[in-house]
Amino acid sequence: MTKQKVIIVGAGLSGSLLAIYLAKRGIECEIFEARGDMRKETMSAGRSINLALSNRGIAALKEVGLDEYMLSEAVPMFGRMIHALDGSRKLLPYSGRKGEYINSVSRAGLNIELMNEAEKYDGVRFYFNEKCVDFDCASGEAEFESGKIVKGDTLVATDGAGSAVRSAMLHGGVPRFDFSQKWLAHGYKELHIPPSQNCLRERADTTRHFRDSTENPSAYADGSDVFQMEKNALHIWARHSFMMIALPNFDGSFTCTLFLAHKGDNGFEQLTDEISLMNFFETNFADAIPLMPTLTEDFFTNPTGNLGTIKCFPWNAGGKSLLIGDSAHAVVPFYGQGMNASFEDCRILNGLLDKHGTHWETVFDEFTNIRKPNADAIAQMAEENFYEMRDAVADETFQKKRALETKLEQTFPDYFSKYSMVTFREDLPYAVAKQKGNAQDKLLMEICAEIDDVSAIDLNEVMGKING
């Protein structure tokens, strides 16, 4: 059999991971990336600096032997730390089981490591500053802004939510191509909480300090605190129609993401100057202000991002091209699953190559049929989780339900909350997690609406109802 060559468009998270999977099979990969090489250039600010990596993503990294290294660079987050308006805080664990937590990882660090790993294989070549502008679904040729035209045995598009390859499939390349793009009324802006002042004073020998604190990133070798808030949590300031979250970084800082409506009350358009911004923060996030010395600068410098859900079908043009990751199914970030789902795409695709070899059309058809219902399921759950995060986490019945779920998980090894099924069960397709999880959620919310004290609930009776 002749050696196969795959063109990959986009050297982001899924493109770089896919290159490793394919290279391990002896398939040659040429990866074309619109931006420069992030290993040599400084990243622009404001583009999701850290991400929550969970079991589905970890399972995909494990298959290429990168899970342990990536986790050694991550900060575990055991639960949601809810910041109330009065400044009080409460931790809601993600799971009642030990060992079930999510991990805050650096987007750039992860991407760079994936590219470095891919480049270790002889058959892998990256081309930067190469923006794909068109794809011919009949001939399989991809055209780039530079004038370059390339063709392999097939092409995989990992060029993200604004995919040029998908656009070519939509505009005549694939007959009856379904496409929808639904924008959220809310956008996002990234803000920053630096490491504590003590640490900043000691920055002269930063490298040694961080190396020394690898085992316990909450403290420097001399015992001084690095993080200004609880480090092992995803912090949430839920304020009903809007919210702010913060994820810890390995260097002791936090990356905050402020989610506001673009327009209207408490929206981005109302925050036009320092006074309106500070008034808004004093009313809604007063406890965060002392932690954010560059709040004004960050707010007015960093871009406001849009959030939306993209759905399309089919994901392939016969055996000529396949869309994976955000190019096929961009979702809003409220379940922390976009990257995890994209990594899972790579793992499932690799399994189908085991099954069918490089019969690309067969592999791509089956991949699309397996993944599409699951992508639709996580898209819907991610939208719903926005309302859970901004409204429900501050709601009493919801907090009782989380306490009950934690007790059920501590007591019954077979019980998994919807969040746990999505986040910690890589063996369970998203569509199954959604269907089972919604039924459980409805039942538990009904039970918790009726009681004051979760400890009075008969757990066996609840389990009977769940299983019945």
Closest alpha carbon to 192 in 249, 243, 236: 249
Could you say whether residue 131 binds ligand FAD (CB under 6 A)? Answer: yes
Angle subtended at Cα 77 by Cα 41 and Cα 215, rounded to the nearest 5 degrees: 75
- Options 46, 93, 152, 160; binder of ligand FAD; rule CB under 6 A: 160
Which of 58, 339 has the CB closer to ligand FAD?
339
State which amino acid sits at residue 145. E
Looking only at residues 4 through 23 of this chain, which bind ligand FAD when binding is defined by CB under 6 A? 9-15
d(CA 325, CA 345) in angstroms, rounded, equals: 7
Q: Is 302 in the site for ligand FAD (CB under 6 A)?
A: no
CB of 337 to ligand FAD, least distance (A): 5
Provide Rg for the chain, Cα atoms. Answer: 23
Q: What distances in angstroms separate CA 156 from CA 141, 333, 371, 372, 465, one per listed residue?
A: 12, 23, 15, 16, 45
Question: Could you tell me the sign of the dihedral formed by the alpha carbons of 143, 146, 152, 154, in that order?
Answer: negative
Residue from the set 55, 95, 249, 342 that interacts with ligand FAD by CB under 6 A: 342
> Quick one: which H or E segment has residue 13?
helix 13-24
Question: 37: part of which helix (H) or strand (E)?
Answer: none
**DSSP strand pairing (79-83 vs 233-238):** parallel
What 3-state DSSP class applies to 320? coil
Closest to ligand FAD by CB, 135 or 177: 135
From candidates 338, 365, 386, 444, binder to ligand FAD by CB under 6 A:
338
Q: Which span (329-337, 409-417, 423-431, 458-466) binds ligand FAD, by CB under 6 A?
A: 329-337
CA distance 142 to 425: 37
Stretch that binds ligand FAD, among 62-70, 152-160, 174-182, 238-246 (CB under 6 A): 152-160
Tell me which stretch binds ligand FAD (CB under 6 A): 73-81, 160-168, 411-419, 420-428.
160-168
Q: Which residues pair with 180 in a beta bridge?
A: 311
- Interface stretch with ligand FAD, choices 158-166, 208-216, 424-432, 453-461 (CB under 6 A): 158-166
- Work out whether 173 is an interface residue with ligand FAD (CB under 6 A): no
Interface of this chain with ligand FAD, residues 222 to 281, rule: CB under 6 A: 257
- Nearest CB to ligand FAD, comparing residues 162 and 357: 162
Q: Which two tokens stand for residue 406?
A: 């934690």
Contact residues for ligand FAD, defined by CB under 6 A: 9-15, 32-35, 48, 51-52, 131-132, 158-160, 162, 164, 188, 257, 305, 325-326, 333, 336-340, 342
